[in-house]
Structure 1
Amino acid sequence: MRVAITGSHGLIGSALVRSLSRDGHQVVRLVREGAGHGSGDGGEAVTWDPAGGGVRLEGVDAVVHLAGAGVGDRRWSASYKREIRESRVRGTRAIARACAGAEVPPRVLVSASATGYYGDTGGRIVDEGAPAGDDFLASVCAEWEAAADPAREAGIRVVHPRTGLVVAGGGGAFGRMLPLFRLGLGGRIGSGTQYWPFISLADHIAALRFALTAGALSGPVNFTAPEPLTEREITRVMARVLHRPAVLPAPAIALRAALGEFAATLMCSTRAVPAALTRAGFSFAHPTFEQALRSVL
């Protein structure tokens, strides 16, 4: 299989490139101008313009679109919120149009999204049929997914992985939290009663590869483990497994001071479950948070 991937230098993208290359698949890494064209973990590199410039996608069987400005990388200002939205919507639209315009279109476009789509749902269990929330990230996710419509309208199967917290040691939000817990500086965030949907990096990569070939899978798909926990429960598991204290909570007012508006997303509760993956027959290697945590230690 020949797979084109955006965001191939990120946590998930680089792991996916390694996984596909290791199994003999051909990888085409779509990279931004000036971002560096080295082969990295494998695959050829092709330049593309996420702001809407064209890219040729001839001769690929599938496209995995992961690129976008990181929501937790910087404090949210009006300009960075605009970048978060535009980097996703414009980039997805460009990829979807390229897929639709190919002489032989790819069979599938896997275009990233997030569980932020649902907003704050409290303790209510939500699957892929739940409506969008009403906050900033929910509106971004809704536009992000809609931007893939040109591919859908061309008859291409489109899958939107709505990803939760990726449990990995080498990057992402969890990767930034882990060193604090190792030092005994971890603690609950806010009240701790909010549900954090999570998935191990290994399961996320396996689910992406499953989505590439599972013909019955389309539309939104929650990439979350089947047993979501509250943030307080996650903190307790980390403290027990790492043999470190976790007694210093991070009050909401301190989070707002440090992170600005982004702090509100850490205190949102989203009890998302992977109904679509389960129906399609996907099997999780790390269904519990403790298993996911131990997989990266």
Structure 2
Amino acid sequence: MRIVVAGGTGFIGGFLIPKLSAAKHQLVILSRNREPSPTRISSPVVANTEAGVTTEWWNGTSVGRWAETIDGADAVINLAGESIADKRWTRARKLDLLNSRIFPTRSIVEAIRRARKRPSVLVNASAVGYYGSVETGDVRETHPKGYDFLASLCARWEDEARAAETFGVRVVRLRFGIILDKEGGALKKLLPPFRLFAGGWLGSGRQWFPWVHRDDVIGMIIYALENGAISGPVNVAGPEAVTMKEFCRALGKVLKRPCWAPVPGFVLRVALGELSGMLLTGQKVVPRKALDAGYTFQHPSLTPALEAIFPPGST
């Protein structure tokens, strides 16, 4: 397939691009850097046209020459968006988080509209934050959206992607859980206190922690590309539901570190402001559509998933 990827140089894209390239797909990465800095994917894969991977500059806000890459493409993957948890959620930061998702997605859909030969599928990132805080009960794809900032952000992002359905494109909205990998995401931020023997859960520890191994994020993106029966919202979270306390205890066990120093909720609220809500609340997410569609999770259980990330001697 010829696949256009927006956000292909980010955390997830860094693992997805080599996987797609190894499968002999022809890839175009939309990059906001005219001269992308070296990363694990731009050297040598992104720079190597013989590997079937090229880059095209775009500004992420308007339709330009890059839109020609959409015309005739088989699929588009949209991972564009600034990291949710990198900075405190000031008013300006919230606007950045929103705009970095809305405008790229809107411009992609506009490019699809203009294309003479449109892609058959748009796989668009989202997050389980769509549901807001849900204390009890299973959360499946039919669950209504929440009411906090993150829920609103995800809903608006998904609405922009859904517009492509008007043009006959299959749209898959992957609602990612908390992605586990030591190279980035929430796990990377949780590691330092554990390595200093001061690890612990956040808040009460009773909130649900909808984790997913990075391999299954990549696996589900590829499965959504190849499986024409999948459309609409899809939860991408590990089948084994755990609480924050259970997660931290499992992490401590795998790292051979104690889990004894919980961080009180009020401390997080003072330190992080509204962002703390993302850490102190959660949902018992069930990947119902993925399982029903036949996707087999590579890491269905938490402790083996953590052991795959931290094999013996790697901590």
What's the TM-score bracket when you normalise by the shorter of the two chains? over 0.9
Aligned partner of 2:62 among 16, 27, 52:
52
Q: Per-residue deviation at 1:185?
A: 2.4
Q: What aligned pairs does 1:53-92 form with structure 2 within 5 A after superposition?
A: 53-54=63-64, 55-56=66-67, 57-92=70-105
Percent identity, aligned pairs only?
A: 40
How far off its partner does 1:183 sit?
2.6
Q: What's the CA shift string for 1:252-290, capped at 9, x where partnerless?
A: 111112211100110112111101101100000100111
Cα contact 2:105–2:157 (8 A) shared by 1: yes
- CA contact under 8 A between 2:123 and 2:225: conserved in structure 1? yes
CA displacement at 1:205 relative to structure 2: 0.5
Residue of structure 1 in register with 2:296 after alignment: 283
- Aligned-partner residue type, residue 17 of structure 2: V
Take 1:145 and 1:285, find their aligned partners in 2: how far apart are those partners? 26
1:7 Cα deviation after fit = 1.2
Paired with 1:237 and 1:279, the residues of 2 have a C-alpha distance of 28
Moved more, 182-191 or 50-59: 50-59
Which position in structure 2 is the counterpart of 1:32? 32
Tell me what 1:112 maps to. Answer: 125
Is 1:3–1:62's contact at 8 Å kept on the other side of the alignment?
yes
Matches within 5 A, 1:3-42: 3-34=3-34, 36=36, 39-40=42-43, 41-42=45-46
Alpha-carbon RMSD across the aligned residues, in angstroms, is 1.4
**Structure 1 residues 148-297: aligned runs within 5 Å:** 148-297=161-310
Instruction: Flag structure 2 segments of 5+ consecutive residues without an equivalent.
Output: 47-52, 311-315
Query: What's the secondary structure of 2:80's corresponding residue?
Result: coil
Residue 47 and residue 289 in structure 1: after superposition, are their counterparts in 2 closer, same or farther (change >3 A)?
same
In structure 1, give the amino acid aligned to 2:125.
Answer: A
How many Å separate the matches in 1 of 2:11 and 2:192?
A: 17
The offset of 1:178, in angstroms, is 2.4
1:131 matches 2:141: no
TM-score (norm 2): 0.91
* 1:293 Cα deviation after fit: 0.8
CA contact (8 A) 1:97 1:150 kept: no
Aligned amino acid, residue 145 of structure 1: E
Q: Contact 2:208/2:282 (CA < 8 Å) preserved in 1?
A: yes
Q: SS where residue 261 of structure 2 aligns?
A: coil
How far the C-alpha of 1:20 sits from its partner, in A, is 0.6
Cα displacement (A) at 1:34? 4.2
Output the amino acid matched with 1:23. Answer: A
| Whole-Å separation in 2 of the counterparts to 1:135 and 1:35 | 37
- Give deviations 1:140-181, integer Å, cap 9, x for gaps: 111000011331100100000000111101111212212332
Shift of 1:76: 0.9
Q: TM-score, normalised by structure 1?
A: 0.96
Mind listing any 5+ residue stretches in structure 1 that lack a counterpart?
Answer: none
- Residue in 2 aligned with 1:145? 158
Distance 1:72 1:34 in 2: 26
Aligned-partner residue type, residue 26 of structure 1: Q
